[in-house]
Structure 1
Amino acid sequence: MNAVDTSTVPAPAGGTHSTHPTNRFRLLLRREYWEHKGGFLWAPLIAGGISLALAVMAAIVGVVMLNRAAAAGDIQINGVDLGMLTREMSPSDAEQLALGLDWSLIMSSAWPFIVLTFVVFFYCLGALYDDRKDRSVLFWKSLPISDAQTVLSKVASAVVVAPVLAVLAAVVTMFGFLVLMSVMVMMFGGNPFTLLWAQSHPLRIAFGLLAWVPVYAVWALPTVGWLLLCSAWARSKPFLWATAVPVITGLLVTWFDIMELFQLDGSWFWRNVVGRLLLGTVPGSDVLYRTAEFGGNDIERAEQLLSLQWMYGIFLQPGTWIGAVAGAVMIYIAIRLRRWRDEG
C-alpha cells in the first residue's frame, strides 16, 4: 500500500473539526498528483529532455559532416551570411520560413504529448482497480470522502492536471529547441533574433497549446469514462477487458454488417465507437475527426490549427457532446461500482 500523508487527510466525522467539500476535493487532487508525480510531471519532462538530447546529437553530427565536406572541398561554407536570407526574402518566402519554423517548434514539443497518451490511459485503467487490489480502498472508504469525490478527483487529474503539466513540459521543450537552433544559426554567422525569433511564433504556439486543454478535457471523456468503468468493474486484467470488448464488438459488428440496418458501414462504428472509447487520450485525435474542415494551402491550415475559433469549433459538433455525455454516464456507473464493489 502506498504511504499516505495523514496530515493532509480530512478529519473523521465527529472529530474536532470538519473540512469543506471544496478543500477535500483539493486534497484529493494533491493526493493524486503526489502519488502519480512520476507520470504526470517527470515523464513529460524526461521525454522533452530526450527529444532535445537527440536534437543536439543531430546538430553535432550535421556540423561535423559539413566540416568534413568543406575540408574535402565538396562544399564551401566560409563566409555564409544567414542574415542575408531575411534581408532578401520576399513576403512569400517569409511566410514559408515562418510556417516551417512554427511546424518545427510544434513537432519539437510533441514528445511530452506522446507520453501523455500512455500516462492518462494507464492511469485511468488502474485508478480504481489498484485501490481494490492493494486493499487501500478500505482505508479511503473509512474517511469522510464520498465515492463521487474520489472518482471525480481522478477524472480531473486525467483531463486537466496531466494535460496542463504536459503542456508546460512541451513549452519548455519548444523553447529549448528554439535556443538550440539559435546557437546553430550563430555558429554560421547568422542573427537568430531576425532569422528565427522574429519569424516564428513561439508565444502564440504556447498559448494555443494551453488553450487546447479544455478541448482535450471534453474530447477525452468517453475514453476516460470507459477506462474508469473497466477499472472499477474488472476483478483482474482491466487492460484486456478495456481493449478486447470494443475491438471484439467492432469485429462482430463488421462481420455481421449490423450497421447496414442503420444505413451505415462498419467503419462508422470503428470510428465513432471503438475509436472514441480507446483513442480519446491521444492528444490531437479530435483533429482526425475534422479533416474535412481543412482548406487552403499549408499556411492556411497551420493558421487553422492555432486559431481559437477553429479549435473551439469542436464544441459546436453534436458528436463531441454525445461522447461527453456517454463518458459522464460511464463515470457515474464507475462511482456506483466503487460504492458496492469489493474484492472480498
Structure 2
Amino acid sequence: MNMHSLQMNIQKELWEYKRIFVWLPVILASLIVLIPVLNYLLGDGLPINWQQQLNRISQQQDNMLFSQIVFGFISALFAPFMIVAFIVQLYYFTACFFDERRDLSIVFWRSLPVPDSQTVGVKLLVGAIILPAIFMLAATMVLLLFVLVALIACTVLSVSQNIDIWGIWLSGEWISNFLITWSSLLPLSLWLLPVYAWLMLASIYAKKAPFLLAILPVTILVIVEAIIVEYFNLASPYFTVMLVNYFDFSNAITGQYTSISAMPINAIMSKVTVGTFVLGGSFIYATYWLRVNRGQ
C-alpha cells in the first residue's frame, strides 16, 4: 500500500469534515472548562471547607479508594467527549459516501489513482479510530489543565495550611488510569464495527436520507418479528433479543474483576465475538462491492 496515498486520503477526510473533527472538540473542551469557572464566579464560592476535607483525606491514606476516585473523575471527564464523538460518528458514517455523490465530488476523487479498497478502509479508519481519538485528545488537554490547577491549589494549601497530601496524590495512579481510559478506544471500535459498517453500507446505497435507510430495515424487522411471535405464540423474538443483548451491559458489568478500572474494557470485550467480525466484514465487503460495481 502506498503510504503517501494513504496519508493524503486521511487528510482529505479530515479536511472535508474539518468543522466537526476540529472545531467541535475545541468548542466542547472550552465549555467543559468554562462551566465550572462560571459556576464558581456566579455562585457562592466553594461550598465546603477544603482544609477539613484535605486533612481527612491525608489522615485516611486510603490509596485504593483514591485510585478509584481518580479513575471515576477521568471517566466522567471523558464521558461527554465520547458521547458527542459517537453522535458525530453516526453522522459521519451515514454521510461519508452519500455526500460525495450528492455534491458530485466523487467524480474528482475517483479520477485519482486511489483504489476503492483504500477509500473504504480509510473512511472506516477515520470514523472508527481517528475521530474518537481527536475527541479523546481534547479531553486529555482538559484533564491536564484540571490536574495542573489542582496541583497548584494543593501546593498552596499544603504550604499555607501545613497539610501533607502528596502521598495520597501519588497513590492515585493517574497515568495508569489515564492509559486505561485511552485503551478502551480499540475495544469500543471492535464492538461497534457492525454498526459502523452498516451505516457505511446505507451511505453508499441510499439515494437520499441514508440514516433513514439505515434504521428503517432494523425497525421493520423488529416489528415484523414481534407480530410473528405474537401471532404464532412463540417463546421470544430472536433478532430483538439478540440486538438488545448486544447493547446491554447489565450482566457484563456484574462479573468479578481485579479492579474497577478493568471493568469497562472487559465488559466491552465480552461483546466482541467471531460473529461481530463476520457481520461487520460482510457489510464492509458489500460497501466495497457497491463502490466498485456501481461506480460510487
- Coarse TM-score class (shorter-chain normalised): 0.7 to 0.9
Alpha-carbon distance in structure 2 between the residues aligned to 1:254 and 1:192? 62
- 1:141 is aligned with what amino acid? R
Q: Find the residue that maps to 2:273 and give its secondary structure.
A: helix
Q: How many residues align?
A: 293
Query: 3-state SS of the aligned residue for 1:135?
Result: coil
Asked whether the 8 Å contact 2:54–2:165 carries over to 1, the reply is no
Trace 1:107-118 onto structure 2 (pairs within 5 A). Answer: 107-118=76-87
What amino acid maps onto 1:231 in structure 2?
S
Q: Give 1:212 shift.
A: 1.8
Distance 1:239 1:313 in 2: 27
Report 1:97-246 matches (<5 A): 97-182=66-151, 194=166, 197-246=169-218
The equivalences for 1:17-56 within 5 A come to: 21-56=2-37
Q: AA paired with 1:131?
A: E
Give the AA of the match of 2:51. Answer: V
Query: C-alpha root-mean-square deviation of aligned residues, in Å?
Result: 3.4
How far does the alpha carbon of each residue in 1:211-246 deviate from its partner, in whole angstroms, 9 at most, with x for none? 222212211210111101100111011111112221
2:178, 2:25 → 1: CA distance? 16
Structure 1 stretches of 4+ moved >4 Å? 180-193
Mapping of residues 256-335 of structure 1, within 5 Å? 256-257=228-229, 265-266=236-237, 269-270=239-240, 272-273=242-243, 288-289=248-249, 291-295=251-255, 302-305=260-263, 310=266, 313-314=269-270, 320-335=273-288
Q: Distance in 1 between matches of 2:185 and 2:212?
A: 29
- State whether residues 232 and 338 of structure 1, in contact with CA within 8 Å, keep that contact through their aligned partners in structure 2: yes
The C-alpha deviation readout for 1:18-48, integer Å capped at 9, x for no partner, is xx63332222112112222332233223212
Stretches of structure 2 that go unaligned for 5 or more consecutive residues are none
Shift of 1:97: 3.7
CA deviation vs aligned residue, 1:247-266 (integer Å, no higher than 9, x gap): 221122122218x99x8623
Does the C-alpha gap of structure 1 residues 176 and 254 become closer, same or farther in structure 2, counting only changes over 3 Å?
A: farther
* Closer, same or farther: CA 122–87 of 1 in aligned 2, 3 Å: closer
1:337 maps to a residue whose letter is L
RCO higher in structure (CA 8 A, sep ≥6): 2
Task: Work out the percentage of aligned pairs sharing the same amino acid.
Answer: 21
Deviation, 1:112, is: 1.4
State the match for 1:8 in structure 2.
none
**Contact 2:249–2:267 under 8 Å retained in 1:** no
Superposed CA deviations along residues 261-306 of structure 1, whole A, max 9, x for unmatched, are 9x8623x533534786xxxxxxxx6xx447335346xx96623237
